[in-house]
Amino acid sequence: MSCKGKCSCRKPSKKKAIITGITGQDGSHLADLLLYLNYEVVGVVRRSSTDTTQRIKHLLGNKNLKLVEGDITDYSSIFNVLKENQDACEFYNLAAQSHVAASFKNPEATWDATCKGCFNVLRAIVDLDLQNRIRFYQASSSEMFGKSYDEDGYAKYQDEKTKFLPQSPYAIAKCAAHEAVRLYRDAYGLHASAGILFNHEGPRRGEQFVTRKITKWIGKFNKFLKRNNILPKDITKSCLDKDCDMIFASGIQESFPKLRLGNIDAYRDWGYAGDYVKAMWLMLQQNRGDDYVICTGESHSIREFLEEAFKCIEISDWYNYIIQDPQFYRPAEVDYLRGKNFKAGSKLKWKPETTFKQLVTMMVEHDIKNS
Ligand code: NAP
Ligand code: F7E
């Protein structure tokens, strides 16, 4: 783990890292990891009238964590954060408008946070002449592949060599930011890495992403069953008709709305966020910056996720509990993602530690416990 650069953090004193997006799913897991590794962590948090620190609540008293106000879309606030923390040796840029469906409705705001934000950090690093002292991580995404894939004879996959064919304003912004990282690496010699992360989830996942939307619903539905002392077999069969959008049980007044989803035929390579932040850190411990695909190598459809999740509450006919609602379909879809993590395995010695079944079970159990 020794660094041969001129970085001031390579002195025996604590390493300092800056994280944008620390209040998000990944930022919170990364903060856990870096604090565990004895880093000083500076988390950039944008001003909000409501509390956004729920995911890092357990860290708020930690003397090695400092939260500073800053908006990634505002160059001066990012410049000031860097200026005041010039002894930081690692910068993790995780802030973004990360919801793909929302990016179709708000392409400009998505562009500002997801692409311009990355440029703001890169530019501030160079303006402060920190390019030889700080290492930079960019949260790139498998969404950049969009409809593109390669084939290895029997199956489709994406890796570092697969071309990008983005299918949303979000993915276009990520592609541009990804190119900016390459440019600053080549033009300024910045130690900059982009992790092309495939979908990663967990109990801290935002509730509007499909996995968490499903497990949250199951948590609440399970509570409804328990509250009314009913078993899945007591559900009224007629309400399981696909035109009925509520769930009833005989002798029970209360009803429960079915789970409304969009396209359940898409495939994703889903991993656990806690595993993936380790790969981010490992990228910045290498001798040079590079791009890495981070994934499990397995692809599952949303149908399969539903099947596995409903199994946790002993329901096998999950399709009777959902409604496919046009409002959750996207103008363009990414149908199939399955990454190949060969480079991450050989260079970073990284591999995923959580199976698909473990991930689904972890999320459902969390949401049952907390509903
Ligand atoms: P997330 O939960 O949506 O978190 C996004 C974070 O960005 C939040 O902390 C949010 O702050 C912050 N943010 C948004 N706009 C900002 C602004 N203008 N200024 C400062 N902060 C701002 O996303 P995530 O799942 O942790 O993902 C982290 C990063 O990885 C994102 O860049 C995402 O696009 C990328 N990524 C995610 C996945 C995945 O599967 N999770 C896969 C590939 C890439 P608030 O709390 O104030 O909203
Ligand atoms: O959708 C389908 C939807 O929103 C997954 C972000 O972290 O990963 C994430 O992007 C699939 C899509 O994730 C609903 O159409 C069906 O095919 O959970 P998602 P995403 O779009 O893959 C990538 C790697 C990122 O970088 C992003 O930041 O599920 N789907 N029904 C639905 N999706 C949602 N959200 N809600 C539904 O009701």
Q: What is the mean pLDDT of residues 353-361?
A: 98
pTM of the model: 0.96
The pLDDT-based confidence of 133 (bands split at 50, 70, 90) is: very high
Of ligand 1's atoms, which has the minimum distance to the CA of residue 113? 18
316 is catalytic: no
pLDDT for 1 equals 40
Ligand nearest, relative to CA of residue 330: 2
pLDDT value of position 241:
77
| 283 touches ligand 1 (CB under 6 Å) | no
pLDDT band at 5 (very low <50, low <70, confident <90, very high): very low
Q: What is the structure's pLDDT at 12? A: 55
Lowest mean pLDDT among 10-24, 143-157, 308-322: 10-24
3 pLDDT exceeds 70?
Answer: no
Distance 116 CA to ligand 1 centre (A): 14
What would the 3-class secondary structure string for the chain be? Answer: CCCCCCCHHHCCCCCEEEEECCCCHHHHHHHHHHHHCCCEEEEEECCCCCCCCHHHHHHCCCCCEEEEECCCCCHHHHHHHHHHCCCCCEEEECCCCCCHHHHHHCHHHHHHHHHHHHHHHHHHHHHCCCCCCCEEEEEEEHHHCCCCCEECCCCEEECCCCCCCCCCHHHHHHHHHHHHHHHHHHHHCCEEEEEEECCEECCCCCCCCHHHHHHHHHHHHHHHHHHCCCCHHHECHHHHCCCCCEECECCCCCCEECEEECCCCCEECCEEHHHHHHHHHHHCCCCCCCEEEECCCCCEEHHHHHHHHHHCCCCCCHHHHEEECHHHCCCCCCCECCECCHHHHHHHCCCCCCCHHHHHHHHHHHHHHCC
Please tell me if the CB atom of residue 324 comes closer than 6 angstroms to any atom of ligand 2: no
Is there a catalytic annotation at residue 329?
A: no
Nearest atom within ligand 1 for CA of residue 48: 47
Choose, from 40, 90, 143, 308, the residue flagged as catalytic: 143
pLDDT tens-digit series, residues 289-323: 999 999 999 999 999 999 999 999 999 999 999 99
**From the CB of 268, is ligand 2 less than 6 Å away?**
yes
The reply to whether 170 belongs to the active site is yes
